A and B are shown apart, each in its own frame.
Chain A
Amino acid sequence: MQLPKNVASLTLKPFYIGFVAFSSICVLWGILVISYEINEKIFPGPVAVFGSYWQLMTDGSLLKHTVASLYRVTVGFYLAAMLGIPLGIALGRIIVARNILNPLIQFLRPISPLAWIPLAMLWFGIGDKPAIFLIFLSCFFPLVVATTIAVGSINQVYFQVAANFNFSRADVLFKVIIPAIFPDLVTALRLTVSIAWLVVVAAEMIAVQSGLGFLILDSRNALRMDYVMVAMIVIGVIGLLLDFIVQQLGKGEASEWKSVR
């Protein structure tokens, strides 16, 4: 039996299948709002939201807020990666360091970044800094833990090979440890970039006058649920894009060896 051509192409391209779910949700949403005659002030329909989106787009405020949020996420996320991954590698390799620092990390890790808001505001004042600090905190600990575990699970044979061929410490780091943990690292980065994006919205509800989180808070105060929904949708779309970008990191030859196993 042969599948009809269009079905075959659908199964081959999950990209389109993703769109099916999105458009059905939009249609359902529209039907729901129209058929139950829900007050647009409480639950705006897709048409109204798209109109507001256009409005925010054309006056430039949506772009301004998006860029502000992305800037904070980027800085916080990079800082966390720059400090967290090397620390994770060190903890994975040096047992003494792990024994000393691991309890502290496991103690700090479950404290929600949001609990740090009062201190963050006190220490960094208002503006970008406290938000960046919160994003850093939310990404740093998961990255340290994931890197430590990844380093710990490297096959010992590879270190023996390294010792056998008289590798220098730098060789062990760049030829064994980093390539060995790279695929796991990409997974960890994918998870943390979405955490960062989650936290930025919360962080922007305090201490700043810009960003998508601020847009939501400000619109709520003005009872503009359509703007709130525009901000939510933009957050979702950008989250999708961030995940996609980080995922691309793991698509190269450097990760292929692991996916085959």
Chain B
Amino acid sequence: MGHIILDNLRKEYVERRGDRRAFQDREVIGDKTIVLDGIDLEFNEGELVAILGPSGCGKSTMLRIMAGFDKPTSGKVFVNGAEIVKPSSDSVFVFQHDGLLPWMTVWQNMELGLNHISCKDEQTERVMEYLDMVELTGFENKYPHQLSGGMKRRAELARALVVNPDMLMMDEPFTGLDFLTHMKMREEVVNMHEFLGKTMIMITHFIDDALTMADRVVVLSDRPAKTKMVRVLDVQRPRNIEKDPLLHELRDEIYLMLGVSYVV
């Protein structure tokens, strides 16, 4: 279960920086910034969708609303038919920056979402299984600050997966990783997606990430964000962008769409 519908989602921020003396028209004080302007999207169960868009366009805001961390100004998000109003462990968020609690070991972090499992043995088994999946066995008693950037990301991924969520929301999960770790994490996420079949929504600003990994690519426009392109990638994995004319063409198209003509 992991079916998401965004229905005419709109989000505005009001910046309260206006003239305080102009109290009579309190409504107009501050500039309204429209971040999301009527977004309609549907995410199917088990789909890996990559969301691309210019920096600051509202990608993260959209994802945060989908996870229940933020409220839309108007419009609704339905997850499995029910409107989402608050965060829940059905959809786990993987944060852009360190989301591991730094005062807890990897093991303790992984157990955070497992309170509902009363059987201690089962908890241990689950944690071990996912630690093994992200190849962090042996690091379970380390604190996050003792791990490398890539290991932290993998630990966070494992923490998200161990609660067996329906959906995984990843906000630029590969930012700040070195090139090789980035490539390996790509592989890892794709493998997990194929193996576990969860709905995964990934914000990224690496176009190649989207093209090599995703089942579908969504491109948002500059603020106020609208959906500019939705494209299903029906290409066998592992993919090679350079050798696949379809992906190659699409890459050029997306680059142009995002305002970069130099690389094309």
Contacts and interface: CB of A to CB of B under 8 A. Distances in A.
Interface residues of A, number: 22
Contacts of B88: 164, 166
Interface residues of B, number: 24
A257 B145 contact: yes
Interface string A157-174: 110110111110001000
Interface in B61-90: 67-69, 86-89
B139 interface: no
A165 to B, nearest CB: 4
B54 to A, nearest CB: 24
B69 A160 contact: yes
Nearest to B70: A160
B93 interface: yes
Contact of B163 (A160, A165, A176, A254): A165
Contacts, number: 59
B101 A164 contact: no
B103 A254 contact: yes
A163 B101 contact: no
B102 to A, nearest CB: 4
A258 B104 CA distance: 12
Interface in A19-50: none
A180 B145 CA distance: 14
B30 interface: no
B28 interface: no
**Interface centre among A157, A256, A258, A260, by most B CB within 10 Å?**
A157
Contacts of A256: 143, 145
A163 B69 contact: yes
Contacts of A260: 145
A182 B103 contact: yes
A175 B144 CA distance: 15
Nearest to A255: B103
A179 interface: yes
B102 A160 contact: no
B101 A158 contact: yes
B56 interface: no
Contacts of A179: 101, 103-104
**Interface centre among A160, A176, A260, by most B CB within 10 Å?**
A160
A5 interface: no
B43 interface: no
Given A160-B87, A261-B145, A180 B103 contact: yes
A120 B88 CA distance: 52
B65 to A, nearest CB: 13
B97 interface: yes
Contacts of A182: 103
A257 B100 CA distance: 12
A115 B256 CA distance: 72
Contact of B99 (A157, A253, A258): A157
Nearest to B101: A158
A164 B87 contact: yes
A143 B68 CA distance: 35
Given A166-B89, A257-B102, A161 B112 contact: yes
Contact of B86 (A163, A165, A171, A254): A163
Nearest to A256: B143
Contacts of B145: 256-257, 260-261
A185 to B, nearest CB: 13
A170 B98 CA distance: 23
**Interface centre among A158, A253, A261, by most B CB within 10 Å?**
A158
Contacts of A175: 101, 104, 112
A165 B103 contact: no
A257 B103 CA distance: 6
Interface string B33-51: 0000000000000000000
Interface of A: 157-158, 160-161, 163-167, 171, 175-176, 179-180, 182, 253-254, 256-258, 260-261
Interface of B: 67-69, 86-89, 92-93, 95, 97-99, 101-104, 112-113, 115, 143-145, 163
Given A158-B101, A163-B68, A163-B87, 5 more contacts: A160-B87, A160-B93, A164-B89, A179-B103, A257-B144
Q: Which 7 pairs between the two chains have the least Cβ-Cβ distance? A: A179-B103, A257-B102, A165-B113, A163-B87, A260-B145, A164-B87, A165-B112
11 contacts: A161-B95, A161-B99, A163-B68, A163-B69, A163-B86, A166-B89, A166-B113, A179-B103, A257-B144, A258-B102, A260-B145
